[in-house]
Structure 1
Amino acid sequence: MEMARRTDIGRVRDLNEDSIGLVETKSGVVIAIVADGMGGHQAGDVASQNTVETVKKVLSNQALDVSTEEKSDILLHAVGKANEKIYTLASKNTQFQGMGTTVVAAIVDEREVVIAHVGDSRAYMLHKGGLYQLTEDHSYVNILQKHGQITPEEARNHPQRNMIVRAVGTSEEVEVDLINTPWRDEDVLLLCSDGLTTMVDERQIGLVLSSSTMSLEQQADQLVQMALDAGGTDNISLILLKHTGRSAAS
């Protein structure tokens, strides 16, 4: 497995409220996490950092060479623990009130990808030259779009496009989407914050990831640069994993 990760403050924000985590276990299983925090001054980065660290810690202490269902349960538990921690921090510290974060976390081995998802950070899979979105945004504009009240073009430019309806840490309980998919040699998994997807359309992302002339590291650099060139109005974070037909440990 090949791996690349990037996080960039962008061109507008004073603070990077995104956090990423990438861990390779001794058995060759990879843990990948992207979180995009929100809240008052510094609260967003506190939420995202604590979420990444909590999820990483819970997953790192578990045997991950288990069934798909068990991986899903472990991810659900990990995100639940992160939610508990952020909610408690926000309840006890006035400067953190209302903070929360998105999260997209994956357990990845040679056979499959298992994902937990809350918010509007996304997971994509490049398979046989096609780019497929694995997650569904928990956002206000996505609800409007699903009900036919706005078009995809209107969604892209909607004044409330950054409003999410589900986040880690904003309520005592959190609802988590669980997704699993097999993957094969040459497939590429992308986890990213919306700082990439609001700046760069899916067709452009797919063209970069399917390029045979760029290494995975170059693809990661190119995606960040494209988001910056388009305005870089938000923090930009991404993790790329490429299936090479071997485990990460080999």
Structure 2
Amino acid sequence: MEKAWLTHRGRVRELNEDSVGLFQSAHGVPVAVVADGMGGHQAGDVASRTAVRVIQRKLQDLPREAGTDKWKEGILGAVEAANHELYQMASQDKGYKGMGTTVIASILGLEEVVLAHVGDSRAYLLHDEGLYQLTEDHSLVNVLKKHGEITEEEARVHPQRNVIVRAVGTNAEVEADLIVTPWYKGDTLLVCSDGLYNMVSIDVIGQVLTSPIPVREQAERLLKMALDAGGTDNISLVLVKNDGAEKEKRS
């Protein structure tokens, strides 16, 4: 697999409250995590970093041969553990009160990807030169769109477009969406915070991901585009391309 990740404070925010994790379990299973924190002074930074750390710890022993059901159970358990730790921290320290974070955690198998998702960070899959959004935003504007109260165009400029209705750490329990999708040789998974997709249109992201340049250069190009468009938020992304090498090595 060809991999790259980047995170940047952007041009406006004083602090980068995004955190990224791209690691392997002890048994060689790749895991990618993006978390976009929120809260008071520095609490968002603490929330996102803690979530990534806990998820990495909980998935450290993830076996490759476990199968989809075990992976689903493992990734949901990891997000729940992150939620519990953040909620406890916020309950015990007034400085952390109200902190939380979005989370997308993804397990990258040879033939499928298993994701757990909370918040408005997103995962996309590039397949046959088409870019497909795998996740659904847990945001106020998405709720309004689904009820027909605002249009897609209105959602892009809505004054409350950054309000999320579900986050990790803000309540004692968390409900994560679970997504399982096949992926094939040549496919690319993109996991990103809203600082990317709010600045760079999905069509343009698709054009970059289909360009014949290395994954690292694609990531750098997307980051530059987000910064050039204003960089009004923190920007984080993980790109993983299925080059088929792992499957061929194990067959």
Q: TM-score range by the shorter chain?
A: over 0.9
Residue 19 of structure 2 aligns to a residue whose secondary structure is strand
* Aligned counterpart, 1:244: 243
| CA contact 1:199–1:231 (8 Å) conserved in 2 | yes
1:89 aligns with 2:80: no
In structure 2, what is the Cα distance between the partners aligned to 1:249 and 1:30?
Answer: 16
The equivalences for 1:174-185 within 5 A come to 174-185=174-185
| CA contact 1:7–1:237 (8 Å) conserved in 2 | yes
Residue 77 of structure 1 aligns to a residue whose secondary structure is helix
Paired positions, count: 249
1:232 aligns with 2:231: yes
Q: Deviations over 1:119-150 (max 9, x none)?
A: 00000000000000000000000000011111
* Aligned counterpart, 1:220: 219
Q: Percent identity?
A: 57
Moved more, 62-71 or 41-50: 62-71
The equivalences for 1:46-61 within 5 A come to 46-61=46-61
* Aligned counterpart, 2:120: 120
* Aligned counterpart, 2:65: 65
* Aligned counterpart, 1:12: 12
In structure 1, what is the Cα distance between the partners aligned to 2:21 and 2:247?
Answer: 16
Structure 1 stretches lacking a partner, 5+ long:
none
Query: Counterpart of 1:182 in structure 2: which amino acid?
Result: P
| CA contact 1:28–1:249 (8 Å) conserved in 2 | no
C-alpha displacement of 1:34: 0.2
Query: Counterpart of 2:220 in structure 1: which amino acid?
Result: D
In structure 1, what is the Cα distance between the partners aligned to 2:189 and 2:21?
Answer: 15
Query: Counterpart of 2:239 in structure 1: which amino acid?
Result: L
C-alpha displacement of 1:249: 11
In structure 1, what is the Cα distance between the partners aligned to 2:221 and 2:169?
Answer: 32
Residue 6 of structure 2 aligns to a residue whose secondary structure is strand
In structure 1, what is the Cα distance between the partners aligned to 2:245 and 2:28?
Answer: 9
* Aligned counterpart, 2:164: 164
Residue 65 of structure 1 aligns to a residue whose secondary structure is helix
C-alpha displacement of 1:248: 8.8
Structure 2 stretches lacking a partner, 5+ long:
none
* Aligned counterpart, 2:204: 204
Query: Counterpart of 1:156 in structure 2: which amino acid?
Result: R
Residue 35 of structure 1 aligns to a residue whose secondary structure is strand
* Aligned counterpart, 1:109: 109
